[in-house]
Amino acid sequence: MAHPLLSILAAAAMLSSNAALAEPPELDLDRLVQEAVENSPKLIASRERSAALKEKIPQAGALEDPMLGFGVVNLPNNFDFDEEDMTAKEVSVSQKFPFPGKRGLSEELAARMADAGSAEVEEIANQVVKEVKTAFFDLSHVYRTAEVTRRNKSLLEELAKITQTRYSLGQAIQEDVIRSQVEISKMVDDLIMLEQKKRALTARLNYLLNRPPNSPLGRPAEFEFRPAAFSIEALQQQAAADNPMLNSLKKDIDARGKSVELARRDYFPDFNLRFAYGQREDRLDMVTGMVEMNLPIFFKSRQERKVAEGYAEVRSAQAKYDDAQNEIFYRIAEMGSMAQRLERKIELYRTGIIPQSRMQIDTALSAYMVNKADFMTLLDSRMRLYNYELDYHGALTEYEKSLAALEAAVGKTFSREVVK
């Protein structure tokens, strides 16, 4: 026949399980990510900036509007239209033409800038996804921690009742009762703090989803340990090819190179074609045609300086790229090492420490019930398991957050399988 204390503990566990069934609908991470990508104001702003940059491409390669002119030429100061043979009423049209190749280069430059804008959209989306995942895992950790705390609080309350009964029968000391009550009070305080954290993280997640801060959110779906196999060196190589920020900076370098090519074309003149038709009184009308061009004779102070400016911008863009790549490689090394360390810790807790601690509690409980172990030994075993469970869920949360950071740095989602 099962011992009464074991039955009480089992009943408490069942009550905890039934309470969990009454929780609100679960939050699905994939749906949250999709909603954030669709509704994030910063991402919407980035998409609109990218769209605006694309609209600049045809503008950059277009000719300027032609000029239409009306006037009178060779009119004497007495304003007599019939006095001079060359007096005419004139209408003219003119059109500017850049030196061959300039329009094409201007359009290519605008296209490169638009490409950089598109890559920037991907980078901001990457960061939004990472922030949503981080907030989700933090919120999930609060829920898991609260569940573990409530479960252990219920078990301690039942244990305290048994200890109170044993104390009244002279089989336990008052210190045992007080110690159990102190631990229960600590858990009550922890639950209050966790509720405050839950409200703050709910507001954070609503902000990322572009919802009002107090919008109700369900309980985050529970996630299992899913290890990811990777090498830091391979992730760094992949980031060099796929990271959206690096791709945006590469496009920016290309754009700066095109601006240098365009600046070099300023050594050559642009043209203006002008045609005019002059109407004269009782005489033959006149037609005028003219080609005008600018003379880039002050190239030392203008064209050369513009080319030098372009090269300086290329070097600046290259330095920004190198710095960003170094930082991303560092983050991958840091987050990758942390993830690998956490993976080993999770596996150790999952397969070793927690099962062994549960066995220790069973042994301590059996010994306590036959007066071969004191209450403090049983309580310490219970509290160690409680802390081990909290450490396990904390490590699992940090592992998922480190992988989310790695995915953002690499620009690709890992494929993983749940470990049973």
In the chain, the number of structural domains is 1
pLDDT confidence tier of residue 322, bands split at 50, 70 and 90 = very high
For β-strands 286-293 and 271-279, DSSP reports them as antiparallel
151: CATH = 1.20.1600.10
**Residue 276 falls within a domain, yes or no?**
no
Question: In which domain, by residue range, is 398 found?
Answer: 9-63+98-266+302-410
Residue 291, strand partner residues: 273
* Pair 188, 152: CB distance under 8 Å: no
- Can you give the pLDDT at residue 354? 84
For residue 328, tell me if it sits in a domain: yes
Backbone angles phi, psi at 288, to 5 degrees: -125, 135
Q: What is the pLDDT of residue 312?
A: 93
Coil, helix or strand for 241? helix
* pLDDT tens-digit series, residues 192-209: 999 899 999 989 999 999
Three-state DSSP at 390 gives: helix
Task: Write down the mean pLDDT value for the chain.
Answer: 83
Q: What's the confidence (pLDDT) of residue 24?
A: 53
pLDDT at site 357 = 85
In this structure, of 80-89, 270-279, 298-307, 310-319, the range with the lowest mean pLDDT score is 80-89
- Do the domain assignments include residue 418? no
Q: Which two tokens stand for residue 284?
A: 């033959």
Which tokens belong to 336? 């990758």
Which pLDDT value is given to residue 170?
A: 72
409 touches 214 (CB < 8 A): no
**Residue 288 within any structural domain of the chain:** no
**Other C-beta atoms lying within 10 Å of the C-beta of residue 188:** 10
**Residue 279 placed within a domain:** no
CB of 382 within 8 A of CB of 361? yes
The verdict on residue 191 lying in a domain is: yes
- The model's pLDDT over 208-226, given as tens digits with 9 standing for 90+, comes to 999 888 888 888 877 778 8
The pLDDT of residue 171 is: 65
Is 92 inside any structural domain?
A: no
pLDDT, position 419: 56
- What Rg, from alpha-carbon coordinates, does the chain have? 38
Residue 281, in any domain of the structure: no
- Report whether 116 contacts 66 (CB < 8 A): no
CA 299 vs. chain centroid, Å, equals 46
